[in-house]
Structure 1
Amino acid sequence: MSDTENLKLYERPSSRPTKIANPGSLGLFSFASTTFILSLYNVNARHITTPNVVLGMAVFCGGLAQLLAGMWEFPRGNVFGATAFTSYGAFWMSFAVILIPGFGVGAAYSSTEEFEQAVGIYLITWFVLTVMLLIGALRRNLSFIALLFFLAITFLLLAIGAWTGKTAINKAGGGFGILTAWIAYYCGLSELLVKGESWFTLPLGTIKQE
């Protein structure tokens, strides 16, 4: 049996039968695409410095689609996947709220420096959550461990970049974000390529359970 059959990406057998299809690819592709776009902006690709075009992706793709993927994981009995997808779906929605002028988040601060310090605290909180999820993934598969590891580094660098105001650190966070996005694409494609329906499958790197 392939890695995909043996371990459906951080998924454990449901406690009861379900007809809900595996939402893993939807959640991972949504996360990857939104992360990839924002990370390109963070490295100033095409000389872009304003990230607001990502708002639509953050609300509907990385946000709503990933949130729904998390909700569908719960009845499948996959608590880890449900927690991860729902959490990061909420992350993208909350991130969009920060950037949408109508919510007045940025305008509420007396200075840009104070706003950046607040954003740094926001990002470091997601770093902490990602590390906790990483601990929970240590006996699942190598691909998802790599995904969460590089995502944690991304959040850490972006938080430090917000606190220090150093563009180079923010760009480094963008670089790690691009790497994270491509790992998520790989994991999502592995979930999509099911034996019997695809010409080939992609291994996730199963970790032996003692």
Structure 2
Amino acid sequence: MSNEAAVAQNRSTENRSVSLGSAAGPLGYLALGLTLLAFGLLGTGVLNDAGVKDAGSLALFVGGLTLFIAGLLEFRGGSAVTGTAFTALGAFWVTWSQAAAASKDATALFLILWALLALTLTATHWLGGELVRGVYALFTVSLVLLAIGVLASNDTLGKVAGWVAAVAGLLAWYSATSALAGGSWGRLGLPVR
């Protein structure tokens, strides 16, 4: 194989990796949106006999596994920021799905530590789109409110945290849908940035 053919093959492989990474973004934000929406709505108390812990399977497989895989694809595509976000959030959801027996203090500490991660994700996406920045900012607020609610045994703060998480989920879902539609909505769609 000549040098020119090898360079062309390498470029082809690089382009394929980038497209895998960029294609994983909407998948990751759909998974994040679904998980946050379920997590949030179950936390609000609007569904009888259901709570945040009932989202365990969804958190494990959609939030955990799917986000982790999307994160690895983002890393492969060259996006360290989104790759880090998705793999870290995948780890969060896997851990959350398994943390049913944790004490009140351990749960609050867990939520505060993950709120710090969400705050980091908000900062790293500061120059990105407003919707994505809003997803991480609202997720941060939700985790902080939930941690305070857990420590204070305040169900009202937990419900407010649920609504904030649900809105973050809707933003993530909209961001992914907009990216998948490729701007084909014209004036009817909300802007992504």
Give the match for residue 159 of structure 2. 171
Greater helix proportion? 2
1:190 aligns with 2:188: no
Aligned residues: 175
Give the match for residue 49 of structure 2. 48
1:137 aligns with 2:142: no
Listed one character per residue, the Cα deviations across residues 69-112 of structure 1 (whole Å, up to 9, x for unaligned) are 0000011111101000111111100111112xxxxx44xxxxxx
Distance in 2 of aligned mates of 1:87 and 1:73 = 12
* SS state at 2:192 partner: coil
Distance in 1 of aligned mates of 2:44 and 2:191 = 30
* SS state at 1:17 partner: helix
1:18 aligns with 2:6: no
Matched AA of 1:87: A
Distance in 2 of aligned mates of 1:170 and 1:146 = 20
Give the match for residue 120 of structure 1. 108
Give the match for residue 94 of structure 1. 95
Matched AA of 1:173: A
Contact 1:39–1:174 (8 Å) recurs in 2: yes
Distance in 1 of aligned mates of 2:69 and 2:113 = 23
Matched AA of 1:177: A
1:72 aligns with 2:73: yes
* SS state at 2:133 partner: helix
TM-score, normalised via structure 2 length: 0.84
CA RMSD of aligned residues (A): 1.7
TM-score, normalised via structure 1 length: 0.78
Distance in 2 of aligned mates of 1:36 and 1:77 = 28
Give the 3 Å change call, closer, same or farther, for CA 51–155 of structure 1 in structure 2: closer
Contact 2:42–2:54 (8 Å) recurs in 1: no
Matched AA of 2:150: A
Distance in 2 of aligned mates of 1:142 and 1:86 = 21
Matched AA of 2:83: A
**% of aligned pairs identical?**
25
Gaps of 5+ in 2: 1-13
Distance in 2 of aligned mates of 1:173 and 1:199 = 32
Distance in 1 of aligned mates of 2:53 and 2:154 = 20
Matched AA of 1:44: G
In the TM superposition, structure 1's runs of 4+ consecutive aligned residues that sit over 2 Å from their partners are 16-21, 46-53, 198-203
1:180 aligns with 2:168: yes
Greater CA drift, 85-94 or 18-27: 18-27
Contact 1:18–1:75 (8 Å) recurs in 2: no
Give the match for residue 155 of structure 1. 143
Relative contact order, higher structure (CA 8 A, sep 6+): 1
